[in-house]
Amino acid sequence: MRIGSFAWPLVMGLLSAFLLGPLVLVAVFSFSSNALISFPMGELTLKWYRDLLANADFHAALTNSLAIALPVALISTVTGTLAAYAFAEWRTRLGLPLLALLGLPVLLPPLVIAISLVVLYVRWLGLPLGRPAVIGGHVLVTQPLVAAVIASRMASFDFTVLEAARDLGASRWQTFWKVTLPQMRAAIVGAALIAFALSLDEFIIAVFTIGGGNTISTFVWGKIKTTLDPSINAIATILLLMTIGLTLIALRLTRYRG
C-alpha cells in the first residue's frame, strides 16, 4: 500500500522529467556561453539572442512565419466561426456529420496532408509553392479547431436572444453585431490565438509547401542539419514562450462564460 502510494508519483515525476527535461535544458542553455549542451554550464550570456537578431536569414524566416500565421489566424477564425455558427443555427441532422467532415484534416497524419497539398497545388492547380500555399495548408488544420472551440461555446448559447433581438426591431445583421458577436468575442479571440500559435510552430506542412525560403520551424530544421549552433536554443525558447503565452491567454478567454 505504502509503496504503491509512493510509486505512482515517482513514475509520474520521472515521466514528466523525461518529457519536460529537454525543454528545460534548451531554455537554460540558450543563456549559456557553452557552444554545446554540456556541463558544466558556462557563463550566463545573451550572445545567442544577439546573434539571432543580427542574422538576416532568421529575420526572413520570422517575417515569413508572421506573414503566414497572421492570415491563417484571420482566415480560419472567420471560416471556422461561420461554419460553427451555421451548423448551430441550422440544428439539422446534417450539422454534426458536416462538422465531423470539416474536422477530418485534424485526424489525418500531417505528412499525408502535406503530400496531398503539394500534389494538389503543383500537379492539379499549377500553383507555385510559397507563402499562400502554406497559408492554405495551415487553414485546413486550424479551421476545424476554431470551429470546435466556437461550437463548444455555442452549445451554451441561448438562441432565444436572437429572436428577442429581431422582435425588438433589429435586422439580422444588427442582431449579429450587437447580440451574437459580443457574447462570442472572447471565444473567437481565443480561437484566433490558438490558430496563430499552431501555424507559428507547424513544421511538416510548411516544409513541404513553402518552396524556397524558410519559416522559423524550417529555419531551425536547416540549422540542426548543418551545425549544432546554440542559437537554436534561443529560437526554441522564443517559440516556446510565444506558444505558451498565446495558449494561456486563449485558454483564459475561451473558458469565459458570458
CB nearer another protein, residue 43 or residue 167: 167
CB nearer another protein, residue 65 or residue 175: 175
- Report H helices in 43-180: 47-54, 56-90, 95-102, 104-107, 110-118, 131-155, 160-167, 172-175
Residue 68 is classified by DSSP as: H
Residue 36 is classified by DSSP as: S
- Is residue 16 a contact point for another protein (CB under 8 A)? no
User: Measured between alpha carbons, how far is 63 from 216 in angstroms, rounded to an integer?
Assistant: 9
* Residue of 46, 86, 100, 161 that binds another protein (CB under 8 A): 161
- Is residue 13 a contact point for another protein (CB under 8 A)? no
Q: Give the H/E segment covering residue 218.
A: helix 216-226
Helices 56-90 and 131-155 sit at what angle, rounded to 10 degrees? 40
Give the interface segment with another protein, choosing from 47-55, 57-65, 147-155, 159-167 (CB under 8 A). 159-167
Cβ distance 258 to 155 under 8 Å?
no
Helix, strand, coil: what percent of the chain each, to 5?
A: 80, 0, 20
CB nearer another protein, residue 38 or residue 171: 171
Cβ distance 162 to 179 under 8 Å?
yes
User: Measured between alpha carbons, how far is 107 from 38 in angstroms, rounded to an integer?
Assistant: 39
Diameter of the chain measured on Cα atoms: 72
User: Measured between alpha carbons, how far is 2 from 221 in angstroms, rounded to an integer?
Assistant: 47
CB nearer another protein, residue 157 or residue 208: 157
- Is residue 165 a contact point for another protein (CB under 8 A)? yes
Minimum distance between the CB of residue 253 and another protein, rounded to whole angstroms?
15
Minimum distance between the CB of residue 192 and another protein, rounded to whole angstroms?
19
Give the interface segment with another protein, choosing from 59-67, 105-113, 154-162, 215-223 (CB under 8 A). 154-162
Give the interface segment with another protein, choosing from 75-83, 155-163, 211-219, 227-235 (CB under 8 A). 155-163
* Residue of 163, 228, 241, 255 that binds another protein (CB under 8 A): 163
Range 169-228, binding another protein (CB under 8 A): 169-171, 174, 178-179, 182-183
CB nearer another protein, residue 17 or residue 161: 161
CB nearer another protein, residue 184 or residue 197: 184
Minimum distance between the CB of residue 170 and another protein, rounded to whole angstroms?
5
Minimum distance between the CB of residue 159 and another protein, rounded to whole angstroms?
8
- Other beta carbons within 10 angstroms of residue 220's beta carbon come to 20
Site for another protein, rule CB under 8 A: 158, 160-161, 163-171, 174, 178-179, 182-183, 258
